[in-house]
Amino acid sequence: MQPDRKIDIIKTIFSRRMLVALIMGFACGLPLLLTITVLQAWMKEEGVDLTVIGLMALVGLPYTLKFLWAPFLDRFTLPVLGRRRGWLLIAQATLVVSIICLGLTNPARSPWMVALAAFMVTFFSASQDIVVDAYRREDLSDEELGLGSSLYVNGYRLGMLLASGGGLIMADHMPFSMVYMIMAACMIPCVMTTIFTTEPVVSEKPPVNIQEAVIDPLIEYFSRSGAIWILAFILFYKIGDTMASAMTTPFYLDIGFSKTEIGAVVKIFGFWATIAGSLIGGLLMLRLGIYRSLWIFGFLQAASTAGFAILAQIGSSITALSIVIAFENLSSGMGTTAFVAFMASITNKKFTATQYALLSSLMGIPRVFASAPTGLFAKYLGWEWFFILCTVIAIPGMLLLLKFAPWSGNTSKIK
């Protein structure tokens, strides 16, 4: 490699654009688990009924429905900071306030106030996601997009790790309200980044009507054969894994693990297992192709969910927990890799951004609606049978592969 080329690569890695991609990924990952894992642990500690804890998953609706107001953010420009940074500053400032408000609530006395504050967090967090995705695509050149997206994903995972693992560990030594104050403060560097970074320069004009932004991509997608079956697959492929994950924190606490053990094993150790699973999944897909990867990784996902039923029988064992978490996070990382590759492969390049946003929003529906009754199921079935149910529910998603991704079909590329 020529010396000048090496210098250019080094400059790109340490450029403003890459640093901003990393920080914005962190900003998007931090709020997500504040309304899931950390909030579940807080409500469980306050003695809130499992049914209510499960229903709290409904506050995640904005992540699923964000495509509804994405065209509005794309169409209009605020008078300060520009088209992207203006909306991003508004989203981040209101997000900080919402996190503080959530920390000031009382789950035992006012669960509905908790739900309202949590909904505010998810709404402004989803709005931030919309603008950050657009900013990243416009700020990075085509050559930089791969590295920038990688840094964004790693920043996202770091934000999730701080909120979940760090949040739970801190909660063993301070009130949950203080944990939320600290998390809100961690958003301040992200706000400063938005203020001091530059606005992307783009030549394309903003959408001028709803048809250009939303309708045309939908018409193109639904004109394909098998479009409905593919949508059903997107809904059901990870539904068992999603339902099980929705109640794992109350499950760990119920069978005797401390919040520090959960933070250290489930969140920190599990974090690296998920990264390993994603890398392994990507390497295996080079040989297996997308079709066969969906089959194999989907089966491993279902089997890993059954591992929680075994853990329910064993009880509070760090060794057993570590094995179950390693298997579950490895398989989940591989399954997500194949799933994301599949969704990207079925988008029309003319409408990649819009169609992928719609498909990713659809992917989030089970996280909200299927997770809502999980507390009720766990309460009346018991933990062992609840996780067996989650394993069985994964079967329909696997069977849908027969419709458009048979084992002997095209394993290299999905048309």
- Cβ–Cβ < 8 Å for 375, 51: yes
- Cβ–Cβ < 8 Å for 231, 358: no
- Shared domain for 165 and 187, answered yes or no, is yes
DSSP H helices, 68-144, are 70-75, 83-103, 111-139
- Cβ–Cβ < 8 Å for 108, 175: no
Per-residue pLDDT of the chain (415 residues; tens, 9 = 90+): 555 555 556 666 667 888 888 898 899 999 988 888 888 888 888 887 888 787 777 888 888 788 778 777 777 778 888 878 899 999 999 999 999 999 998 888 888 888 899 999 999 999 998 888 778 777 776 566 556 666 777 788 789 888 887 888 888 888 988 999 999 999 999 999 999 888 887 666 666 676 776 777 778 778 877 788 888 888 888 888 888 888 888 888 888 888 788 878 877 788 788 777 766 776 676 677 778 888 888 889 888 888 888 988 888 788 888 888 888 888 887 787 677 667 756 766 445 456 666 776 777 676 667 777 888 888 888 888 998 998 888 888 888 888 877 776 544 443 3
Longest Cα–Cα distance of the chain, Å, equals: 66
- Shared domain for 301 and 181, answered yes or no, is no
List, for residues 316-343, the tens digit of each pLDDT value.
788 888 888 888 888 887 787 677 667 7
Last residue of a domain, one of 156, 178, 203: 203
Q: Which of 9, 32, 13 is nearest to 22 (CA)?
A: 13
Q: What is the pLDDT of residue 415?
A: 37
- Shared domain for 122 and 219, answered yes or no, is no
Distance CA 183, CA 161 (A): 12
CB atoms within 10 A of CB 263: 24
Q: What is the pLDDT of residue 3?
A: 56
List, for residues 249-265, the tens digit of each pLDDT value.
888 888 888 878 887 88
- Shared domain for 312 and 409, answered yes or no, is yes
- Shared domain for 129 and 235, answered yes or no, is no
CB atoms within 10 A of CB 196: 10
CA atoms within 13 A on the CB side of 212: 8
For the chain, the helix, strand and coil percentages under 3-state DSSP, each to the nearest 5: 80, 0, 20
Q: Provide DSSP, 244-307.
A: HHHTHHHHHHHTT--HHHIIIIIIIIHHHHHHHHHHHHHHHHHHHHHHHHHHHHHHHHHHHHHH
- Shared domain for 414 and 269, answered yes or no, is yes
- Shared domain for 224 and 347, answered yes or no, is yes
Q: What is the pLDDT of residue 385?
A: 92
Q: What is the pLDDT of residue 192?
A: 93
- Shared domain for 349 and 288, answered yes or no, is yes
CB atoms within 10 A of CB 402: 12
Q: What is the pLDDT of residue 413?
A: 40
- Shared domain for 178 and 220, answered yes or no, is no
Distance CA 208, CA 137 (A): 20
Amino acid in the structure at residue 267 = K
- Shared domain for 88 and 12, answered yes or no, is yes
pTM score of the predicted model = 0.65
Structural domains counted in the chain: 2
Is residue 183 within a helix (H) or strand (E), and if so which, with residue range?
Answer: helix 176-186
In total, the chain counts a number of residues equal to 415
Q: What is the pLDDT of residue 95?
A: 95
Q: What is the pLDDT of residue 255?
A: 82
Contacts of 272 (CB under 8 A, 6+ apart): none
Q: Rg for the chain (alpha carbons), in Å?
A: 21
CB atoms within 10 A of CB 177: 15
Instruction: Retrieve residue 356's tokens.
Output: 């992928």
- Cβ–Cβ < 8 Å for 184, 92: no
- Cβ–Cβ < 8 Å for 358, 218: yes
- Shared domain for 231 and 351, answered yes or no, is yes
Name the residue range of residue 116's domain: 1-203
Q: What is the CATH number of the domain that holds 95?
A: 1.20.1250.20
Distance CA 217, CA 354 (A): 7
**How far apart, in Å, are the Cα atoms of 121 and each of 92, 118, 174, 354, 367?**
10, 5, 22, 24, 16
Give me the sign of the Cα torsion angle 261, 263, 264, 265. Answer: positive
Contacts of 99 (CB under 8 A, 6+ apart): 31, 34, 121, 180, 183, 184, 187
Q: What is the pLDDT of residue 344?
A: 58
Q: What is the pLDDT of residue 182?
A: 93
- Shared domain for 267 and 282, answered yes or no, is yes
- The residue behind tokens 């996780």 is 387
Last residue of a domain, one of 186, 203, 220: 203
Q: How far is CA 63 from the centre of its chain?
A: 9
Last residue of a domain, one of 169, 203, 237: 203
